[in-house]
Amino acid sequence: MLVCWCGSNIAGTVDINTVVEASKREPGVVYATDYQYMCAEGGQAMVRRAIEEHSLTGIVVSACSPRMHETTFRKAAAAAGLNPYMVEIANIREHCSWVHKDKEVGTEKAVVLMRAAIAKLNLNTPLFPGESGVIKRALVIGGGIAGIQTALDIADAGYEVDIVEKSPTIGGTMAQLDKTFPTLDCAACILTPKMVDAAQHDKITLYTYSEVDEVSGFVGNFSVKIRQKARCINSKLCNGCGDCIEKCPAKKAKSEFDEGLANRKAIYVPFAQAVPNVPVIDQTQCLKFKTGKCGLCEKVCLPKAINFEQQDEIIEKEYGVIIAATGFRPLSPERYGEYGYGQLPDVITSLEFERLMNAAGPTGGALLRRSNGEKPKSIVFIQCVGSRAEPDKGKSYCSKICCMYTAKHAMLVRDKYPNIDVSVFYIDVRTPGKNFDEFYRRAVEQYGVNYIKGMVGKIAEEDGRLRVQGSDLIEDTQIFVDADLVVLATAVEAQASARPLGTMLTASMDQNNFFSESHAKLRPVESPTAGIFLSGVCQGPKDIPETVAQAGAAAVKALGILSKDKLIGNPCIAGPDELLCNGCASCEKVCPYGAITYADKEINDHGHRTTRHVAEINEAICQGCGACTVTCPSGAMDLKGFTNRQIMAEVDAICR
């Protein structure tokens, strides 16, 4: 029995000596001691010496969460010749010292947890993990800057990578931007070379206009079905000449790339630098699909690349690792009637403003009002639209990038149009990154942007202009600002596809539909599901530099698996008692990993041989989640390392 002080983390609210002395009275305990930092090198050496000198058959370490250091203590036990699964952790830091201020109460609970761990250890048996091979290919879901960077890093290490992107082109939201903060350099100048590198890399395969339909398997051996939607274009024949787009008469579809501010044709390439530079036919807008007539594009296509009969294709591939890089979408502000978005044409979102300011945008980079096509004389930016809100009104979290991109927008306006008055309504200005606060100060001090600490309560149209009513919290007054254009900095939220994808990947999601990391500090790019990694804003709001950094980190973690020929499995897996199994298949239905199947087997039931329909476990797939054990009505299913007997022994020890 080994008790850790964890400095004052545990010792501050738990009487270590009392826990040690109490453990000596427990059945099976032959040695008990404490150490200030058990996870340190000295503590690990002490663990090894204790095992060797006292011939210990198992150890209980009362310390911090097993998520932190269970592997550490298992390695120490293995180094001393003890089976690593004969190690139990009593979590007396998070469960005691961190939640109790009263030392007497914390100590009492620590003793109880220690007692429960010893009771379980007395019933433990050595476990031996199996092995499984690794498929040397990675799948990246999402083709934005995060997905591209992750794919390039993995491919540069010599492994094959597939990028699945639901849009007709890779690039993501960054492709829509004009400039990036805090350097105000061209977004396309940074992104386009990356897109070209990904397309030309001999280790990267792009599946654009595609979605993941189904995922099965486990770390090192994932099976994935990819639905490649029908472009109605043969990508191998298309030479990108654009004749088909020029002749298309259907011109009323709203451009997704331009946020609906401009129209596109039924056959289109999203933007000039799209990769791949292959058109796609929007079947909901194409006259050939709607009326059976037209077909002009087919007639003018010299390479004969257009195929109206093309169908969706299901591609089945196998991967060793999967990286989620699904990105984000801006929250729609239509729910906030006080801003008039959707009713007042001169109230737009920040992403729509990006397209208006972009030289490749719908107005050629000219900042014009949507209502009358005139240049605005004054602009009001409104921060935190949907961010830091009550749960029923928006998102409770800070979207992290809005303060900076609003400062960027304000500076770009003042730089290009010095005569335009710019005001910003804000709650707080948050600029925590490198050179971020200096960037914001430039907007105020150098460009003369008027920052107003307060919230906007109403926007109304009066005499062809917008009247913005808000509060000035510094002056403690209600103010009115006349504007020609209002820009809403809307919250960043997860893609609508994130939750269904998370279900397919059996990955954890938070309440806001962002993917949850395994550990916020120690494993920030790993999902709790082995082999699933997180890249970019799918895990939470972040800017481009942070996204690229996380993309590289996800690639490194993925390479850690791809570089191995074999993976050591988890021996804490389910196992059926064939004598008790009644063949009901309840466990098969609840298994999220598809690890349980049924087969007819000859069973020797106390000398009486019968053929029964019983459960079988694929040990390579089973992740030891335990869902089957609680579902089994006959009690036939059990979990190695966490058997019903062991759990009940812990309960009995707690209730003593």
Report the pLDDT value the prediction gives residue 607, as an integer from 0 to 100: 77
Whole-number average pLDDT of the chain: 93
Residue that the structure tokens 């009001």 belong to? 380
pTM across the whole model: 0.86
DSSP state of 9: H
Residues in CB range of 342: below 8 A, 6 or more apart: 334
Read off the tokens for 346: 């001169």
pLDDT tens-digit map of 596-607:
999 888 888 777
CB 276 within 8 A of CB 199: yes
Mean pLDDT, rounded, for 326-347: 94
- Select the more confidently predicted residue: 219 or 227: 227
- Please, what is the angle between helix 66-79 and helix 41-54, to 10°? 50
Sequence-ordered strand ranges (E) for 109-155? 131-133, 137-141
Average the pLDDT over 372-377 and give the result: 94
Confidence bin at 320 (pLDDT 50/70/90)? very high
Q: Which residue has the higher pLDDT, 519 or 328?
A: 328
Cα gap 138→144, rounded to integer Å:
16
Distance CA 542, CA 551 (A): 12
How many C-beta atoms surround the C-beta of residue 104 within 10 A?
Answer: 12
Q: What is the pLDDT of residue 537?
A: 97
- In this prediction, residues 556-581 reach a mean pLDDT of 92
pLDDT at residue 601 in the model: 87
If one compares 537 and 611, the residue with the highest pLDDT of the two is 537
pLDDT single digits (tens) 463-484: 889 999 999 999 999 999 999 9
Report the C-alpha gap between 639 and 207 in whole angstroms: 40
pLDDT level of residue 390 (50, 70, 90 thresholds) = confident
Which residues neighbour 499 within 8 Å (Cβ) at sequence distance 6 or greater?
509, 513
Q: What is the pLDDT of residues 120-131, one digit of tens each?
A: 999 999 999 888
Q: What is the pLDDT of residue 7?
A: 87
Alpha-carbon span 615 to 637, nearest angstrom: 9
Phi, psi of 543 (to 5 degrees): -90, 180
Q: How confident is the model over 145-174, as pLDDT tens digits?
A: 999 999 999 999 999 999 999 999 999 999
Select the more confidently predicted residue: 578 or 159. 159
pLDDT score of 606: 77
End-to-end CA distance of the chain: 19
pLDDT band at 405 (very low <50, low <70, confident <90, very high): very high
Spatial CA neighbour of 170 closest among 144, 135, 139 = 144
The reported pLDDT for the residue numbered 472 is 93
pLDDT (0 to 100) of residue 592: 79
Give the model's confidence band at 391: pLDDT under 50 very low, under 70 low, under 90 confident, else very high. confident
Residue 363 has φ and ψ, to the nearest 5°, of -110, 15
Give DSSP secondary structure letters for 593-635: T--EEEEEEEEEETTEEEEEEEEEE-TTT-----HHHHH-TTS
Q: In one letter, which amino acid is 245?
A: I
C-alpha to C-alpha distance for 278 and 299, rounded to whole angstroms? 17
Percentage above 90 pLDDT, the chain:
86
Is residue 244 classed as helix, strand or coil in its secondary structure?
helix
CB distance 519 to 116 below 8 Å: no
H helices of 285-343, in order, are: 287-291, 296-300
Model confidence pLDDT, tens digit, residues 513-544: 999 998 888 889 999 888 999 999 999 999 99
Do residues 74 and 85 touch, judged by C-beta distance below 8 A? yes
pLDDT of residue 418: 95
